[in-house]
Amino acid sequence: MELKSRVALTFLLAGLLAMLNDVAFASGWESYGGDPGGQRYVAAAQITPENVSRLTEAWRFSTGDMTSKPADLLKRRYAFETTPILVAGSLVFCTPFNEIIALDPASGALRWRFDPHIALDSRPANQFVCRGVSYWRDGSAPESALCSARIFMGTNDARLIAVDAGTGRLCPGFGADPAHPGEVAAGADRTLLWPGEFQITSAPLVAGDLLVTGSSISDNVRVGAPAGSVRAYDARTGKLVWSFDPLTLDKDGKPVRAGAANAWAPLSYDVKRDLIFIPTSSPSPDFFGGQRAGNDNYADSVVALEAKTGHVRWSFQTVHHDVWDYDLPAQPTLLTLTHEGREVDAVAQVTKTGFMFVLDRDTGKPVFGVEERPVPQGGALGEALSPTQPFPLKPPALVPQKLEKGAGFGLVWFDRQACNARLDGLRSEGLFTPPSEQGTILYPFTGGGANWGGMAYDPVRQIAIVNVTRLAHVITLFPAAEYKGRKAVDETSEISPQLGARFGVRRDLFMSPLGLPCSPPPWGALVAVDLKSGEIKWNETLGNLPKALPVELPVGWGSPSFGGPLVTQTGLVFLGATMDSRFRAFDIETGKVLWTAVLPAGGQATPMSYEWKGRQYVLIAAGGHARSGTALGNAVIAYALPE
């Protein structure tokens, strides 16, 4: 048999095997993460490592936000994090202001547009963000009927919107209020301190005929934050079917004095098992837990819920009694791997700590093992820390987790000296060092490790790809009574009240006088993990910082990144995410950069890929992220090989 034929047969058999193991191998992109399990994998094979250098821009679409929205609002609260889906013959995505837009997949021409008219003065705590929309087909309705195919979206003002997938018209049967057809209020369980304290930022999950959504809740404002309930709605009517609150009871069976533990990242769905996988976050407030003794129930956990009932099948907690804001920021990835000679259906969860937990999908038991290890103690007055935390035996941590005294970085001697002098006065005992009035180093910082971009998985090679950030925060507690005085004299710093707690908190990036991170470079990396062995395959510096100093920074120091990777059948990894406004393609076997495109704005979004009429496209939203300081824009750009 010729070599080419053998290669083709190998890929064919591997693809068939993966399909039998419940892996979605469509060359389209029907869900936020490519498939309901979030693998971010596309089987289209037209673009290869050999020809990727020939990719050119095929089309570009601009949403118009840069000219239609107030400039001051864009500078402070704009984040273009969307990933389009390919459904009903159109590419469909949402803007940060929750407009839904449908485009022609071949040309990028506008097909329809829907605007829910959210309030621009609501001050959403996590910026104006919409990561994606969802698609559902009503199997009981004629194809020609209005809303037989629907697009669903959660909004920054906590509504669920349903529109017809072909026209963008509101679905009149969704929601019980005749004055507001096509929408359901999915808001908080208590009065908000301001309209933007509670929002929905990730695409709702479609599980059969249910629509399931989490929420995003402002951090560090108050002990009694809104509940982080996950809610399931009937996809036809919008009627609430069930609700799951991760913080219903403490270890003694008493109501927990906290809120949040919400699922702000995307959820995942196992169609065969009819299980929903929820990544929950930290309870409120983030950095002091004196009012919530114990391990906080289902907070900071991967929770497997039965889709029909919302009942817990199993859960696995990644952080006990979280006082570090080390919530689960990313979609759980459903995958199949070969372990000890057998195929295992697993769920992989990347975390802000830099750990990846790989759990059996049926039981929640760690595939590679996890052990409880002692962690630093001596928390603030009134704190009751967990004496141990879970550490996976494999894979190893994807980022450094301790900043040693004297290891501070600086561009020149006085810069380095200033970093180390400050480090000498802070607690820095490694991962899980408790917040303190003295000031504590959090390394990795609260943005990760990994963040909402999550991971991508190649089901044939069984390789996971994760982009990670390697920065540090300084967390300083202070008596709650000092909040107003501190805020009055320092309005630019992140100073939060933690109302109802003994302490307020100040959070600062650990930066040098010259404005560079005090943690050693590289500050960003792309990591490949071989999930057959649980070992790191390669770890490469990712991106560069934009020029921000009078001197040129050395190449190879890396960049913080927000957004996720995409992998293709042919062994390519596509990633934007970095602060240098570049879109790159990598070789999945080596991590070598094979192609780079300059974007008109930051690519703080997860790319997607699809095949349309015989041509493969790779697409990314290039709009930047105000909080990250990247260049802002409003473009969606598709790349393809020359026709």
Identify the three-state secondary structure at position 58.
strand
d(CA 206, CA 188): 21
Q: Which of 157, 325, 415, 580 is catalytic?
A: 325
As a whole number of angstroms, the distance between CA 444 and CA 427 comes to 14
Sheet holding 240-244, edge to edge: 205-207, 210-213, 230-234, 240-244
Q: What are phi and psi of 441, to 5 degrees?
A: -80, 125
Active site residue 177: no
- DSSP-derived secondary structure letter, 46: S
Residue with tokens 């320092």: 490
DSSP symbols for 590-627: T--EEEEEE-SS---S--EEEEETTEEEEEEEE--BGG
User: Are 203 and 268 within 8 A, CB to CB?
Assistant: no
CB 436 within 8 A of CB 323: no
Centroid of chain to Cα 233 = 23
**Identity at 289, one-letter amino acid code:** G
Angle at 193 between CA 162 and CA 258, to 5 degrees: 90
Q: Of 329, 230, 313, nearest to 275 (Cα)?
A: 313
Q: Give the C-alpha separation, 216 to 19, whole Å.
A: 34
The Cα 27–Cα 34 span in angstroms is 9
Q: Which two tokens stand for residue 341?
A: 């000679």
Separation CA 262–CA 160 (nearest Å): 17
Residue type, 561: S
CB 160 within 8 A of CB 199: no
Per the CB < 8 A criterion, the answer to whether 201 and 267 are in contact is no
**For residue 522, cis peptide bond before it (omega within 30 degrees of 0):** yes
* Rounded distance between C-alpha atoms, residue 572 and residue 53, angstroms: 12
Query: CB within 8 A of 356, min separation 6: which ones?
Result: 348, 349, 350, 392, 395, 398, 450, 455, 464, 466, 529
Helix, strand, coil percentages for the chain (3-state, nearest 5): 10, 35, 55
Task: Show the tokens assigned to 630.
Answer: 């990247």
CA 504, CA 497: separation in Å to the nearest integer?
5
Residue 468 makes CB contacts below 8 A (sequence gap 6+) with 354, 398, 399, 444, 448, 449, 450, 524, 525, 526, 527, 561
The residues that are catalytic are: 325
